[in-house]
Structure 1
């Protein structure tokens, strides 16, 4: 949005000056950053070790300078195409399970991104972080930002703010990102080829990449602060959804009661949030895109499968990705299996 329109809505002159300072800093920093071509249209810029679009970069700066964290904040964090929509749905339904009837649930009428708002995306539209102050507590928010880009007041153990993170096999992540990028590329541009996308991904040049550094940032944080960061694997959630739903509930401080277990509430949540159920909802079949909203609800649903990479990646690409992954993860205590 035009910053002048945003500033005109704020009565607090000190706050206006603070935001102007952040925008000025952004304008000064951007030309100094290494640029690379994005996967659809926008450029990516290398900032503090990660490749960000301009709106993600601006969002990160505004969060650092102005975001007022609350001790009850819950942040759903992912690298793109790792199960973001699914995790949003699970966290929302777990936390609000006593507020809605499963037969008439908000998830049957709204895409999960409308229920768990995308933090840097909202900031991009509104031009500030102040509007989030009015969200009811606990605030459920979503982000793709790396853990290292959040201010210490959010990542410090004493803040109370909690992160639920999910990662996924990089081979499936790459294929999902490649398909997603070609959905979003303007019609007058040729599709990004598998080889072109693969070269960029391996070099770490993708939205919020390098992918491996993103994962390891949250992995390390989960080891150092297990009450602050819950680390999940997509494949584990697919294999044992009921166990992982219970684990998320315990982490969020809302464990399931014996009565809820007897009433099969965990099973209801798993069914409600399944790819099969969410993808058939009319709201998630919406393919509308425009300049204000370049991504449609339908774009978030492709297959949701584990191991789909076998249908797309030749052996040499598989070997290359596995080698990069092994090298990146060496000595970290983490693996994707």
Structure 2
């Protein structure tokens, strides 16, 4: 196994991957939180099964390997016992994952500010207080956004998802993008062209379905359908873990930060993005293919 960067946070421990035997046909979805991980897992579950009504149960059937809240022996044993093709989830950047030449890695990204504001909403919807220091409920002085900009890519900051961590995710994935088994997707492109996303994922996974069935699978993965059936599609849906399952699918729209950040906050964000990424990379990370082509 090649040397991997250590990501060890309040929730994350990427050393847990050492207990997982990666199989040649495994699919690993790796992305920052609130960037489309569950959406991509749902697309994969639908393509694997060919069943628009499949019970995805992503938290159990497509486990988040890195999270320290589940006992590692139980997770490893459950994965080893799976006889079907597997999909595994990670919020660890690619430089912290074991890289198998035959497994497929799918990395999903979203405009960093959209991901940040979606994460704010998500943390208010779950009964966990590990990150209250970063995300205070009464945030009159802009603490949350300052820490979004100031946080580091590793250590405790990892799970608070600061901008540095998102950029680390992107750079680590982009560095491997020429490999045939590493693919980058963008939330904006998935929103604009869900059929095209299904076609691309199906091609990567070597899966085909008749046109009529594919249309039904695509319909099942629309935002409106997933929100309407949140108990089926949200991680841990129907278990009472979240205050409201449907709030996991808060909004598929972009521009969540508009009108919520000051000119000074936006200028600080722009300065950090321009210092860390070239114009083309920034355009893609913020807007997907549309932004990249415009740049």
Aligned to 1:143: 90
- Give structure 1 stretches of 5+ with no counterpart: 1-46
- Structure 2 counterpart of 1:301: 249
Q: CA RMSD in A?
A: 2.9
Q: Report the number of matched residues.
A: 263
SS in 1 for 2:12: helix
In structure 2, the partner of 1:116 is 62
Hey, what's the Cα distance between the residues in 2 that align with 1:282 and 1:82? 17
Gaps of 5+ in 2: 152-156, 286-290
Separation in 2 of the partners of 1:193 and 1:287?
31
Q: Which residue of 127, 134, 142 corresponds with 2:72?
A: 127
Q: Are 2:193 and 1:193 equivalent residues in the alignment?
A: no
Aligned-partner Cα distance in 1 for 2:41–2:9? 22
In structure 1, the residue matched to 2:12 is 56
1: CA distance between counterparts of 2:127 and 2:143?
A: 14
- TM-score normalised by structure 1 residue count: 0.69
Q: Distance in 2 between matches of 1:71 and 1:80?
A: 26
Residue in 2 aligned with 1:218?
Answer: 173
Distance 2:168 2:119 in 1: 17
Q: In the aligned structure 1, how far is the partner of 2:57 from the partner of 2:243?
A: 12
Contact preservation (8 Å) 1:172, 1:309: yes
How many angstroms apart in 1 are the aligned matches of 2:59 and 2:259?
29
**2:114 pairs with 1:178:** no
Deviations 1:262-308 (Å, cap 9, x if unpaired)? Answer: x2x3332221011100111162596754xxx5786445221122222
Post-superposition CA distance 1:69-128 (Å, at most 9, x none): 11111111110010122111111112221xx3x3xx124xx554344222224x642332
Return the alpha-carbon distance in structure 2 between the equivalents of residues 133 and 302 of structure 1.
34
Conserved? CA contact 2:32–2:91, under 8 Å: yes
User: Which is higher, the Rg of structure 1 or of structure 2?
Assistant: 1
Greater RCO structure (CA 8 Å; 6+ sep): 2
| TM-score (normalizing by structure 2) | 0.78
Cα distance between partner residues in 2 of 1:240 and 1:279:
18
SS in 2 for 1:308: coil
